[in-house]
Amino acid sequence: MRKLQLILILFLFGQVASASEVNVYTSRHYDSDDALYEEFTAETGIQVNIISGKGSALLERLKAEGDNSPADIFFTVDAGNLWRVQKENLFQSISSKKVLDVVPSNLRGPNDEWTAIAKRARVIFYNPKNVSADEILDLSYEDLADSNWKGRIVIRSSSNMYNQSLVASLIANLGEEKTESWAKKLVSNFARTPQGNDRSQIIAVANGEADIAVANSYYIGIMLSGAAGEEQLNAAKKVKMLFPNQDDRGAHINISGAGILKNAPNPENANLFLEFLLSKKVQKSMVDNSFEYPILKGILPSDEIASFGLNFKQDQTSVKDFGELNPAAVRLMDRSGWK
């Protein structure tokens, strides 16, 4: 970590100038990623220079830097964020055949300008003490609009990209009119005004403040690992995770992903970096530390995540749709009263 900080300082002051480097702008905040970057350098001799920040801030930085940007890779979470970068015409197509061969087309961006690196499911959490087996049998996202759930559901705000992408996926599958009707009924079932992050929703269910939470799967892995402290560990032990829509299209799947910038000074190194992230060894390391799901077949998720089941049905809706339908999703959520 100290080595990476030194590299970052040198990079910021313009003192790192080598053909054997790759410059990564990332909004991912996992210490385990730093260890992977060091491993890439050890294997290839290519130095990884990191600029870290929120996705929106990094996008504004890229736009301000223009043609002179030193960035090779933009690495972030949620397809909607990758789409925003692509909309600004800041990506180039990925040329690595290895990457394109292992990542399914529904997990890549238009013109192969970005690719999934890991998957995450947006799923349902419930407290078995407060929710009966009959109530959650064959539960779907659509079912959360039923009056049976009135005053029982917690979820993040409409400004959250994860929720915007979930709504975009519903628009892709149900159409805008049906999705808007669903959203209005869902809002009427909220146990409280949306507040907090995904872990806050899970904790609310564990504490009996609500019966159902919608949140990303990897958060329960973080909580069960003990990394977030004893309070969150105890809360996680009280809830169960359910994969919605197993009788039809499957659970909503989003991604962590990356693309190569249009003006990347080191495009060959950037393609090698993406290949590295999609190697078996790195995929296993990532899912064990970030609690996401792997892209590669044959790689098992972490023990914490695997405990909820391995063979669930995953929605195959293209992640491209989450970005393209994002404006419609945001307007729809506003009309529905989703704060």
Please tell me whether residue 309 adopts helix, strand or coil conformation: coil
Residues of the chain with pLDDT > 70, as a percent, come to 94
Dist CA 17 CA 10 (whole Å): 10
- When the pLDDT of each residue in the chain is averaged and rounded to a whole number, the result is 93
* Residue 171 sits in the same domain as residue 142: yes
Model confidence over 41-88: pLDDT tens digits?
Answer: 999 999 999 999 999 999 999 999 999 999 999 999 999 999 999 999
* Residue 110 sits in the same domain as residue 166: no
Neighbours of 151 (CB within 10 A): 11
The residue segments making up the domain with residue 154 are 121-251+317-336
Domain holding 52: CATH number? 3.40.190.10
Strand partners, 91: 261
Burial class (CB in 10 A: 0-12, 13-18, 19+), 155: buried
* Residue 193 sits in the same domain as residue 330: yes
Model confidence over 167-205: pLDDT tens digits?
Answer: 999 999 999 999 999 999 999 999 999 999 999 999 999
Q: What are φ and ψ of residue 225, in 5° steps?
A: -70, -20
Mean pLDDT of 272-283: 97
Please tell me whether residue 23 adopts helix, strand or coil conformation: strand
Dist CA 333 CA 30 (whole Å): 30
State how many domains the chain has. 2
Mean pLDDT of 136-145: 96
* Residue 130 sits in the same domain as residue 79: no
Q: Residue 19's pLDDT band (boundaries 50, 70, 90)? A: low
**Residue 52 near residue 29 (C-beta atoms within 8 A):** yes
* Residue 135 sits in the same domain as residue 261: no
- Of 165, 140, 132, 187, the residue nearest 253 (C-alpha): 165
* Residue 200 sits in the same domain as residue 331: yes
Full-model pTM: 0.91
DSSP 91-120: EE----HHHHHHS-GGGB-GGG--EEEEEE
